[in-house]
Amino acid sequence: MVAISFACLPSLVWAQSLPGAESADAGGPLDEFGTVDDEIVVSANGREYGAVIGDAKPELRFNVGDIMSFGVSSIGELLEELNPQIDGGTESPVFLLNGKRLKNVGEIRRYPARAILRVDVFTPDVAVRYGYAPTQRVINIVLRPRFRENAVEVTGTTSDQFDYGSQGVSASTLQINRDKRTFISAGYSRSDRLLASKRLNNGRYGRQPFSLQGNIGPAEGHAEIDPALSGLVGAPVEIAALPEWDGAFSLEDFARTANQPSLTDLNDYRTLMPSSRTLEGAASVTGKLGEDINATASLNLSQTRRTNLMGLAGSALSIAAANPYSPFNDDVTLYQYIGNSPLERRSKSTNVEATTTANGTHAGWNWDFEAGLTYGRQNLRADRGLDDDLLAEEIDAGALNPFNLAAEDLSRFAAYDRSLETSRVLQASMLGSRIIGRTEAGEISTSLNLEVQHQRLKNEVTEGAQEMSRTGDYFNTSGTASFSIPLLSADKDLGSPIGGVTLSPYVGFDTSGKFGTRMSWGAGVLWSPHGNVQLTVNYSDDAVFPSMSNLYGIEFRLPGELVYDPVLGQMVSATEISGGNADLRAGRQKMLKANLSVRPITGKSYTFTASFTRASLHNGVTRFPDPTAELEAQFPSRFIRDENGTLLAFDSRPVNAYRNTQTRLRFGINASWRVTEEGITADTGRGGPPGGFRGAGGPGGPGARGGGEMQSRAEAMGQPRSGEAGAGGPPPMMGADGAPNIPGMGPRRTPPGRIRFGLYYNWNLEQDLQLYKGGQTLDLLNGEGAGARSGQSPHVIDLQLGYSRAGAGVSLKGSWHSSQTINRDLATGRFAKVESYYSLDLRLFKNFNPRDWKDTILSGVMLSLEAKNLTDASPKIIGSNGYVTNEESAERYIGRTFMAKARKAF
């Protein structure tokens, strides 16, 4: 394939004929720092370089200038910034690279953002052409035809209180030369732990009556500790703090602490954010196999270690009246956090992914092949505290003094659980597409996709002396056939009074040994009543299946989980029972999605988008929700409480929910403006031509070329062709004084500045959950069954605003979340709520252009300073006892953070 770049720059022919000039798509100074921001690269057949299958028009387009205005250094960071604009709702988008399927977007997340030529966002009907359901937006990332960079990046983050921080360093090299691409990267990052005591003043004392000092309570079935102690005090004594050991205890020692329990701040022994260490590397090679086949091989490696502190383990030990150390006449109970070492939860996650892809053409078919191996190994060790049964045996035998356990070496009683999960996924798929016919409205195309997959999961759990193991295998074959059928043409000359209409039906199957064969089907309709208006309506009815972990995970207990207890109206520390459920069944998901895209002014960047999504999942797999009054009444066996009603454990293992329904409306506006010496004008760089690049006259018109001839950059600007002079003006590429006006050879224009704006509103209209047929329908948006760690705000507003010029800029990102009802509080009869909150992030950045900083250490450097959560927002749950923590939003409790980043390109 032959390709050439078009932009508002002098002709490549002239630039390449003079010494010192560099190709604008070569990754040289001309375009590395955003001085070229409206490139359109086309191939000899008139289609854009990296275009998707068919002639779909992008809903949104981000060109080089747009991308540089975000001030990000990698594709992964760019996608995070674009998320409010490309959000697909209930499903993540489909990612393409240069118009080809991308098995995992993680393959290119580390690529430098400057390697991107453009990012196109398409409506879900395009997903059908790649073998996906018409319910996911499509993101096509197109790389520059030529690019080179070797870079080192260093980052550092700290909170405004300097009690939390993270650091990272990475190095990478990327070389792109048309169909050849090589990438290698390696990186290391670490983060500190953040103790809950640094941020929270609530929920500090955990489960009463436990403490590090220890408290004495009555034996089971007794109302007071000891009648003799009550007589000495003159009132019933229900609890007493353990005095400091001085060799022996008497009743008089406990009379001084009668009904005055000791307390321990558990927030000193619990982390909001774990400490972590991550090491990762990636490599990929792309090249040609023969004349018509492009192939890629990639390898991604990562390992992450995390350590969480989960509080202290309390031991309730019965002490007989006959114990030689006891001063009491009755049996009593000791409640104590024994030892001052917090419960640790250590995890190590190792992942390896090897992928190969190939694509080409054969007998009129465009084909795309993918194959990959994914290997994962997850190690988890969770402390359980002490083995109370063994400890009680030695206390009863008189071998230990129960009133001075702090002086004893109790390491031999330490108890912990281990879990090892090993997974392997082998996958291969083939996609073929071609034109199969034609109507008056256009070409009829089809896409056929076949995929085979084998998954294997091995789970090993050790709980104390008990060892368990489970292995599961899952083989799956699936396929889809989709069609794109133009019914009416958007060309007014063909007599369509309502514009263009295209129908995109699909049908698919999914076969496995465990669930049999399930069919899927759906269709999408694209209506373009005007060149600036596009409406798509898509419906799908697909089979959905449980994951391997959901099916074959072994029951595992995780102590120290914070969860909202609706009975007490506060957060409590309880044990979560996790694992899999071998009885899970396959389900079905029905989804209706409508997308509207309007550019109200032709040729301008103003874009209005709106989407409506309604998804209904029948027999879908869901984690059992957090405790609520309604759920506990329906499933009492899922919740374990002590005699005082305190929640001790809850079972979160997955279940098939009879029905899960979500409805959402989302709309917003996107715009950008150019800033020059003449003033501010609306940008024209958003949205691409419907069928790739065409000249001003359309097919066969004045702007067209025959026989694969292509325009030069100068012609794209309306300048004379090579060798011609403008009427009454100097020759092309020459200034008014006759001097060359070529980058690197003489005067050059100052690149225009850019203002970028985006505002999006998300309205979650419905979120219902019915766990079993005939059971209560839980309204998750109104607090029925959502719990403290699930559910979502009914209303969310996202804002983006940025300005950049000559490689420097500022970017502002904000979000507002409405208050959210999360749980019914039985203590007061009210619902608990998460308060509304808003946050702002600010980024300042500067790229040092090698042309302006030649022969200095700053040449090729990018510096950025980012302040996150400037408003110091932290979601809070308001229950009967006031403010309590919401662990799902732990990152918000870090508060304001500041990040500095330096990137040096060689």
DSSP 573-620: EEEEEE---TT---EEEEEEEEEEEE-SSTTS--EEEEEEEEEEEEEE
DSSP per residue, 111-147: SBGGGEEEEEEE-GGGGGGGTS-TTS-EEEEEE-SEE
| Contact between residue 141 and residue 176 where contact means Cβ atoms under 8 Å apart | no
Instruction: Provide the CB-side half-sphere exposure for 479 (13 A, CA).
Output: 8
pLDDT at 282: 95
pLDDT tens digits, residue range 92-127? 788 999 988 887 788 899 999 999 999 999 888 788
Dist. CA 892–CA 869, nearest whole Å: 8
How far out from the chain centre does Cα 30 lie?
Answer: 34
Distance CA 10, CA 22 (A): 12
Tokens of 263: 């307390």
Judge contact between 282 and 355, C-beta under 8 A. no
Q: Minimal CA–CA distance to 847: which of 905, 765, 761?
A: 905
Give me the half-sphere count of Cα atoms (radius 13 Å) on the Cβ side of residue 23. 16
Enumerate residues 6+ apart whose C-beta is below 8 A from 600: 532, 606, 608
pLDDT at 515 over 80: yes
> Which residues lie below 8 Å from residue 277, measured CB to CB, with a gap of 6+?
188, 189, 190, 304, 305
Cα separation, 610 vs 716, whole angstroms: 33
**One-character DSSP codes across 864-897:** EEEEE-TT-----EEETTEEE--GGGGGGGG-SE
Element (H, E) at 176: strand 165-177
How many CB atoms lie under 10 A from the CB of residue 730?
14
Other CB atoms within a 10 A radius of the CB of residue 809 amount to 24
Spatial distance between the Cα atoms of 407 and 338, rounded to a whole number of angstroms? 10
Q: Is the pLDDT of residue 796 over 50?
A: yes
Residue 785 dihedral angles phi and psi, to the nearest 5°: 95, 0
SS3 699: coil
DSSP 94-112: EEEETTEE-S-GGGTTTSB
Contacts of residue 370, defined as CB under 8 A and 6 or more positions apart, other chains included, come to 101, 103, 355, 356, 357, 427, 428, 429, 430
Q: Is-contact 693 40, C-beta < 8 A?
A: yes
- Residue 77's SS3 state is helix
Q: Tell me, what DSSP letter sits at residue 731?
A: P
| pLDDT (mean) for 338-344 | 85
Which of 244, 310, 301, 298 has the alpha carbon at shortest distance from 274?
A: 310
pTM, full prediction: 0.79
8 Å CB contact between 895 and 199: yes
Q: How many CB atoms lie within 10 A of CB 738?
A: 9
Mean pLDDT for the stretch of residues 607-624: 91
Q: pLDDT tens across 202-212, in order?
A: 555 555 688 99
Task: State both tokens at 447.
Answer: 């896409």
Range with the lowest mean pLDDT among 222-236, 415-429, 750-764?
A: 750-764
The DSSP symbol for 267 reads G
Q: Is the CB of residue 795 less than 8 Å from the CB of residue 781?
A: no
Closest-CA residue to 220 (of 320, 313, 312, 323)? 320
The strand pairing partners of 263, in sequence order, are none
Look at residue 530 in the predicted model and tell me its pLDDT.
79
| Cα 777 to the center of its chain, rounded Å | 29
Phi/psi for 49 (5° steps) reads: -65, 130
| Residue 94 DSSP symbol | E
Q: What is the pLDDT of residues 293-340, one digit of tens each?
A: 999 999 999 999 999 998 888 888 999 999 999 999 999 999 999 877
Peptide bond between residue 740 and the one before it cis (omega within 30 degrees of 0): no
Would you state the torsion angle of the CA atoms of residues 207, 210, 216, 219, taken in this order, to the nearest 10 degrees? 50
Mean pLDDT of 849-857: 85
The fraction of the chain above a pLDDT of 70, given in percent, is 81
For residue 366, give every residue at least 6 positions away whose Cβ sits within 8 Å of its Cβ, in sequence order, or none: 53, 359, 360, 432, 433, 434
Which has the higher per-residue pLDDT, 601 or 602?
601
Cα-based distances in Å from 78 to 67, 70, 86, 720: 7, 7, 11, 38
397: β partners: none
Task: Please state, in angstroms and rounded to a whole number, the distance separating the CA atoms of residues 741 and 748.
Answer: 6
- Alpha-carbon gap, residue 659 to 588, rounded angstroms: 10
> By three-state DSSP, how is residue 805 classified?
strand
Give tens-digit pLDDT for 444-484.
Answer: 989 999 999 999 999 999 887 788 899 999 899 999 999 98
pLDDT of 29 > 70? The answer is no
Is pLDDT above 60 for 715? no
User: Is the per-residue pLDDT at 10 higher than 70?
Assistant: no
Radius of gyration of the chain (CA): 32
How many other CB atoms sit within 10 Å of the CB of residue 741?
19
* Predicted pLDDT at 158: 95
C-beta separation of 616 from 589 below 8 A: yes
With the C-alpha atoms ordered 712, 715, 721, 725, is the resulting torsion angle positive or negative? negative
Contacts of 138 (CB under 8 A, 6+ apart): 52, 93, 94, 95, 96, 121, 122, 123, 124, 126, 127, 130
* pLDDT of 25: 38
Two structure tokens written together for 84: 């409010």
pLDDT for the residue 696: 33
Is residue 144 a contact partner of residue 116, using CB atoms and an 8 Å limit? yes
Three-state SS for 70?
Answer: coil
Question: Is 784 or 548 the better-scoring residue by pLDDT?
Answer: 548
CA–CA distance, 314 with 207 (Å, rounded to integer): 8
Weakest-pLDDT range from 143-157, 516-530, 585-599, 688-702 = 688-702
Is 557 in contact with 576 (CB distance < 8 Å)? yes
Burial status of residue 458 (CB atoms within 10 A of its CB: 0-12, 13-18, 19 or more) = middle
- Reported as a pLDDT band with limits 50, 70 and 90, residue 377 is very high
Q: With cut-offs at 50, 70 and 90, classify the pLDDT of residue 14.
A: very low
d(CA 444, CA 467): 59
Nearest Cα neighbor of 317 from 204, 416, 410 is: 410
3-state SS, residue 833: strand
Q: Residue 324 — left, alpha, or beta (φ > 0 → left; ψ -120 to 50 → alpha)?
A: alpha
Place of tokens 């120290």: 560
Question: If you count DSSP H runs as helices and E runs as strands, how many of each does the chain have, helices first?
Answer: 10, 45
- State both tokens at 278: 């991550």
In three-state secondary structure terms, 200 is coil
Give the strand pairing for 808-817 and 820-824: unpaired
